[in-house]
Structure 1
Amino acid sequence: MMRQTWRWFGPADPIPLSHIRQAGVEGIVTALYDLPPGTPWPVERLLERRAQIEAAGLTWDVVESLPVTERMKTEADPADIATWIESLRACHAAGLRTICYNFMPALDWTRTELAHRRPDGARALRFDLRDLAAFDLQLIRPEADDYPPEIAAEARTRKIDRDALVATILAGLPGAMETWTLDSFQNRLAAYRGLTEEDLRANLATFLRAAIPVAEELGMRLCCHPDDPPWRLFGLPRIVSTETDYEALLAAAPSSANGITFCTGSLGARPDVDLPGMATRLGPHIHFAHLRNVRRETETVPCSFFEDAHLEGSTDMVAVIRALLAEQSRRAAAGRDDCVIPMRPDHGQAILTDDPATGAPGYPAIGRLRGLAELRGVMKALS
C-alpha cells in the first residue's frame, strides 16, 4: 500500500483535522499558506503546525508547497533562492523531509469553471480552452496569435462572464500563493516578456543547483509539481509538462534529492503523456503522488477537460497504481528508506452535501473521501 495522505489548508480549512482522521488517512499535506512567497518560514511556526496535526492523531508527511517566487522564475534571483533554502532548513529543523514546489510562471493551477454540473448532479472543476482563449484575447492579449485559428476566431467574439473568469483564473485557487487583478496580472506578464523556455529552464537549473545539494546534505527530498494545465498559457513558457521536461529537470541536478510530484491529473490532461510508462521509467525519482483523473474533451494539445471521478476519466488509474506499487517493491528490495510513496486523493467532485460555495474549490470532503476509498480499494486489490 502507498501511504495515504490528505491535503489540509490549515486552521482556516472548512474540513477539520478530526474529520480528516475519520477518512482513514495516515498523514497530512500542508504548508504555511498565510506567509507570502519570499518570506522566511520560522521554525516555531512549523513546529506549532506540526504539533496541531499530531494532536489530532496524524503526521505531517509532505510540505505542499514551499513557494518559489516570481523573481526566482524570471531571473533566478540569488536573494530569493537563499531565502527559499533558509525555509528549507527550517522545515528540516521541524522534522519535515519531503518538500513539494512548482515552477509555473505567474499562475498556479488554472481552471475556468469551479462548479461544472455533471449529468449525475456532481460538480467538477473544468478547464474550457475556448473560454480561456476568449478571456485572454478579449482582456489580456488582444494581439496574441498563438491559438489555433478556429479557436481564436471564435474567442474574439465569444460571450464570457468577465467577473467570474477574473475571480476563477486570477483571484487564486487553493494552494495558490498569490492573486492578481487584471492590471497586476498585465504587469506580471510584462516581467516575463522575452523570456523563452530555455531561459526559464536555465533559471530552474540555477535554483536546483543551489537547493539540491542542501536537500541532499539534510536527507530531504524535493519534488516538482507539473504544470497545470501542461501547456503554455497567456503566451508564458512552461517547462514541467511532459516526461521529457522531467528528464531535463532531473538531469539539471542529478541527485536522489531531486524528484517528482507525480500528478496524474495535471500530466493526464495531455494525450501524449504515457502515465503508467512514466511511473515505471521515472519511478525512482517519484517522491510524492497526486492521484486524480481528468476527462479530456478532445485528444489535442491543448484541450478542454474536466475533473472526473478518480477511477473514470482518460487515465487508466489501475495501471498507474500498479506501476507505483511495483516501484515501491523495487525500492524495498534495494533497501531504500523511502520505499513507501506518499499519495493523496487529489481534487474530487463535489457530491452529496459538499458545497462548492463554502468549501475550497476542488477539495470537497465527500468527493475526496469517495476518491480515497476507490484508490484504497485498487491498492488493496493489487497488493
Structure 2
Amino acid sequence: MKFHWFWPFARSEELDWARSTLRPGETLVTEVIDRAEAPAAGTTHGVTVLRDLPDVKRSVGRMGWAPSRAATYRERAAIRRRHWKSNEYDLFHLHYVNRFTDTFTRFPTPLVMSVHDVMPHNPRLGTRLEHQLLAHMYKRPNALIVHHARLADELHTTFGIPHARIHVVPHQVFPIDVEPSPRPEGPPLLLFFGAFRTNKGMEVLDEAMSLLGGQDVRLAIAGHGEKKLEDLALDMARRDERIHVSIGFATLREKQELFQAASVVVLPYTSFASQSGVLHDAYGHGRPVVVTDVGALGDTVRDERTGFVVPPRDAAGLATAIRRVLEPDQWDEAAAACKRIAHERSHAHIGIRLREVYDEVLR
C-alpha cells in the first residue's frame, strides 16, 4: 500500500503518527509547506516528506494580501493535483482543508478528510455561505475524521453527514524529549499558549488575572496572531508585573520549556468547534488544565478528569477554577490523569486507530 497525505502545516514531532499508521513494506508521502518549522525533506521508516508547497508571502501590503494568498493557494492545489492524478497511491488523506480551493475541486478516491474545525473559527464569508460551502465539501469524501465524539455529533446535526461516514480518531499526544517534570517549585505559573485569535478569550483571562490580584500567581503568554491581541498581551504585561509575554513562533524546544515551567495550562476560549492541540500538549507534559465549555474541550476534560471546566466568558469562574486546580490534591489528581491519557494517545495507539479507518474505507 502507498498513501498520500496532504498536510501543509505538519511539524516534525507529528510524523511518528504517520509511521505508526504503516504496516511493513508500506509507504506514505506527505506534502508540507517549505518553511523553517517544517519537517526535513527525505524518507524515514517508509514516510517521505516533500517540502514542495509554497509558503505565503509575508510582505505584500494590505492591497496585495488577498491576490497573493489566492495565488499561493492555487499553486498548492496544482502541486497536490499532480499527485492525485499520478495513479501511484491506494488512498489519499486530506489533513487540511482550504475551503476557498477545495470546495469545488475534484477529489481523488478513496479519500479520507480530517475535519479539525466543524465550522471555521472566523467565518470570513458569513455563516450561511460558509455552511453551504462546507456542506458541499463534507458530503464527498469516503470518510471524515474528527478528534472527539462531540464533533462527530456536530457534523451529523449541522450538516446531515451520516454517522457511518464519520470516524472518531482521538488527537495524538506528541512525544517529548524528557519525562514530564513534577509540579514546579515557586509561585504557580499559568500558561496561555498558541495562536492569538479573537475566540481564544485573552480578554477574559485579563479580567481573571485582575480577580487573582491578591495571589502570588504568574502568567506566561506565548504565541502570535492577530495584531490587536498581540497588543493586548503586551499591555497586560505592562499593567501587571506577574505577566510575561513572548510574541512569535515557539520552536519545539521553546514549547517544551514553557510547558515544563508551567503549573497549569489555561484555555479560556469563547467559541470553538474543534478539539485542541494545546490541550494535548498539556497532557504530554503532565500539566492540569482549566478550559471553557466550548467545542470538545469541556467534554474531554470532564470525562478525563484532567482539570476544571468553566462557562465561556466567565472571568470570575475562570479565576475560581484556577485557584481550585492549584490546590495540591487537585493538582496531583489532574496531573496523574494527564499522564495516563498521554500514554493512551501515543502515536502508536492513534496510528492503529487511523489504520482501522483506512482498512474500512479500502474494503
> How does the TM-score come out when normalised to structure 2?
0.32
Structure exhibiting the larger radius of gyration computed from Cα positions: 2
